[in-house]
Amino acid sequence: MKIKVKSQYTIDFTGDNSIGKVFGFSKRIIPANKAAFSDLPVNIMSINSIKVHCNLVQSNIEDNVQNTNILYDFPLDYGTIGAKIIKQPNRITYFAVKAEIIYDLVIRITDERNNLINFQGNEINLTLDFRPCLRLLNPNLII
C-alpha cells in the first residue's frame, strides 16, 4: 500500500517521533504544493499476524529460537476488515505436553511482537485437541 500526500504547507517528516513512518515515509521534507508517495511499508495496522501461545508446550521453533510455546501463528487478511477471523491450521500438528498432569492451562493470543491483543469484549473460540502419546501407550513403538 502506498500513500500519497500533497499540502499547501511544507511537510517535515524528519523528526524522531514523526508520524511519517506510520504512513510509510522516510525522514524527509516534502515541499509545499508537491505530491509525494510513501517509500516505506505503511504501518497503519498495528497487528500483522496473530500467535497462539500455550504454557503446556515447548517444542515449537520461531525465528531460529528453540523451545518457544507457540501453537499456531498466522498472518491477518486485511481484505476482510471487520469480519470474523475463522482460521484452521493448514496442517494439524500435535505438540508434546510438558506435564504428566495438567494443573494449569494458559492460552495467550498475541501479535507478532508478542504483545497481548485486546479483543474489546469479542468472544474467542479456540479448540485444543489432546491425544495420548503413542509412545507412552506402547513403549516399544518405533515412530
| Residue 9 clears pLDDT 90, i.e. is over it | yes
pTM strictly above 0.75: no
pLDDT over 90 for what percent of the chain? 19
- DSSP for 86-122? ----SS-----BS-SS-S---EEEEETTSPBP--TT-
- Work out whether the CA dihedral 29, 31, 32, 38 comes out positive or negative: negative
Domain boundaries defined on the chain? 1-44, 45-143
Q: What is the mean pLDDT of the chain?
A: 80
pLDDT digits (tens, 9 = 90+) for 46-88: 777 889 998 888 766 666 666 688 888 888 776 655 666 777 7
Contact between residue 72 and residue 127 where contact means Cβ atoms under 8 Å apart: no
pLDDT digits (tens, 9 = 90+) for 110-130: 988 888 988 778 888 888 887
Between 89 and 25, name the one with better pLDDT.
25
